[in-house]
Amino acid sequence: MMTQTPSPTDPASDAAPVIQIKGLHKSYGPLEVLKGVSMTAPRGHVISLIGSSGSGKSTLLRCCNLLENSQAGEILFEGEPVRWKGQGQARQPADRAQVTRMRTNLSMVFQQFNLWAHMTILQNVMEAPVTVLGEDRALVETRARALLAKVGIGDKADAWPAQLSGGQQQRAAIARALCMQPKALLFDEPTSALDPELQQEVVKVIKDLAGEHRTMILVTHDMRLAADVSDHVVFLHQGVICEEGPPDRLFGNPQTDRLRGFLSATMAT
């Protein structure tokens, strides 16, 4: 079937990838963390980033959301490139309004939940759409309550974060991300801070979201989760992509010694 080529004047075309990274370099002083990484997240696809600690996975995710400034390379959101000023370590986005617009469409779920302790769970979920997007509070509350029910904690709307288990807090964080109605969800090790029995609560929610064909980029050490939900898996090693492809091939028939060694060590338990 023929695919219509998006017009260059219509960067938000459904045919454009939600996120595209081209030749991205990121350094912290003399330490080069990303060494020319390129990656694409098509609409409705789940991309998993795997690799050892320090391989650059979380840094790449934070660069996608412009929480970190990169020193070279391109970042495009729905075909629209980020505009930069300066070079090297001095490079930074040139248009703060563009950054805000892109960030509000790329909701991030962090390892440590990052819920506001002084707000109820419902208030946490509602805060950004009301204060950042200026949406009607009553409409946001209806959506927030529906999302809390969707992730299985509808009865915790009036509870405080400290009253919830880690798994419940992470599900609340996912509901908060969803309430922004983003074009993509970015997950940074969403289960690694949880006990094994609580991890499965969050894994189920992520699998359900993947089943809805939401665009997601997932940094994870959980190889089973990556295998189950991903359309494409990227294996990073020391700041470069060593291997990538569909999960059945990467996990079932790895092509490089580095990936074979990583999987052997990770899946040995």
3-state secondary structure 229-250: HCCEEEEEECCEEEEEECHHHH
Q: What angle do CA 91, 38, 35 make, to 5 degrees?
A: 60
Sorting pLDDT into bands at 50, 70 and 90, what band is 1? very low
CA 125 to chain centre: 18
User: What average pLDDT does this structure show over 204-220?
Assistant: 95
Q: Residue 95: what pLDDT?
A: 96
Among residues 41, 39, 48, 5, the alpha carbon closest in space to that of 21 is found at 39
When pLDDT is averaged across residues 95-115 and rounded to a whole number, the result is 93
Does the structure show a pLDDT above 60 at 74? yes
Integer Rg of the chain from CA: 19
Distance in angstroms (rounded) separating the CA atoms of residues 18 and 183: 7
Structural contact between residues 106 and 96, judged by C-beta atoms closer than 8 angstroms: no
Helix axes 137-150, 121-131, angle to 10 degrees: 130
Residue 5: is its pLDDT beyond 80? no
Instruction: Say what the pLDDT of residue 268 is.
Output: 63
pLDDT at 4: 33
Distance, CA of 80 to CA of 209 (rounded, Å)? 26
> Whole-model pTM?
0.90
pLDDT at site 266:
87
Q: pLDDT category, 207, cuts 50, 70, 90? A: very high
Residue 6 pLDDT > 60, yes or no? no
Count Cβ atoms within 10 A of the Cβ of residue 245 and give its class: 0-12 exposed, 13-18 middle, 19 or more buried: middle
Whether pLDDT at 3 is above 70: no
pLDDT on residue 193: 82
Report pLDDT for 84.
Answer: 97
Q: What are phi and psi of 22, to 5 degrees?
A: -130, 115
Q: What is the pLDDT of residue 196?
A: 86
pLDDT of 141 higher than 50 = yes
> Which pLDDT tens digit goes with each residue over 180-204?
999 999 999 999 888 888 899 999 9
The sheet carrying 72-77 orders its strands as 31-41, 19-28, 72-77, 80-81
CATH superfamily label, 19-105+184-260: P-loop containing nucleotide triphosphate hydrolases (3.40.50.300)
User: Span 59-71, mean pLDDT?
Assistant: 96
- How high does pLDDT run on average in the chain? 92
Q: What whole-number distance in Å separates Cα of residue 19 and Cα of residue 152?
A: 29
Q: Is the pLDDT of residue 253 over 60?
A: yes
pLDDT at position 239 over 60: yes
Check if the beta carbon of residue 188 is closer than 8 Å to that of residue 158: no
Torsion of CA 164, 165, 170, 173, to 10 degrees: 10
Q: What is residue 170's predicted lDDT score, i.e. its pLDDT?
A: 95
For residues 64-77, average pLDDT = 96
Domain with CATH 3.40.50.300 in the chain: 19-105+184-260
Percent of the chain with pLDDT over 90: 88
161-167 contact pairs (CB < 8 A, 24+): 161/113, 161/115, 161/116, 161/117, 161/119, 161/121, 161/124, 162/117, 164/121, 165/198, 166/113, 166/193, 166/194, 166/195, 166/198, 167/194, 167/198, 167/199, 167/201, 167/202
Candidate from 136-150, 157-171, 254-268 with smallest mean pLDDT: 254-268
